[in-house]
Amino acid sequence: MITEKQREDYANTFERFKQESQIDMADDEIHDILERLHRHETTLSRYNEMDCNGEELSRYQRKREENIMSEIEGIAEKLGFEVRFNSDPRGGAIRFILPSGRYNTWDGETWGIFW
């Protein structure tokens, strides 16, 4: 079940990506990108937790992590954003630096995928 806060976070991110993307995209394309980023955020966050708890990732998981990060870097480049990855499980795994400098994280620099 999606909470009102999650709905609001998604809507804010949707609008921010629409306004700041360096390419013209239809709403459904932005939605598809955000859904993909959300799935990747969930996976990377889970891997960060496992690593923090001393669980070693399998070879498959390491390769998947590399592929996900590479895909996210491609998405960021396409949008004209810079991307940072956070390995601390207490924060978002994917963080973008937007052209405007707007942020939604405590670091005051990046935009995270949090819904």
Could you report the average pLDDT of every consecutive run of 10 residues in the chain (115 residues)? 91 96 94 97 97 96 98 97 94 95 94 89
**Secondary structure of residue 82 in the 3-state scheme:** strand
| Secondary structure letter of residue 95 according to DSSP | E
Token readout for 69 is 């990060």
Pairing of strands 111-112, 82-85: unpaired
Domain-wise residue ranges, the chain: 4-15+26-112
Please identify which residue in the block is written with the tokens 């949090």: 114
**Using CA atoms, how far apart are residues 25 and 35, in angstroms rounded to an integer?**
15
- Give residue 25's pLDDT: 92
pLDDT of residue 91: 87
pLDDT at residue number 18: 95
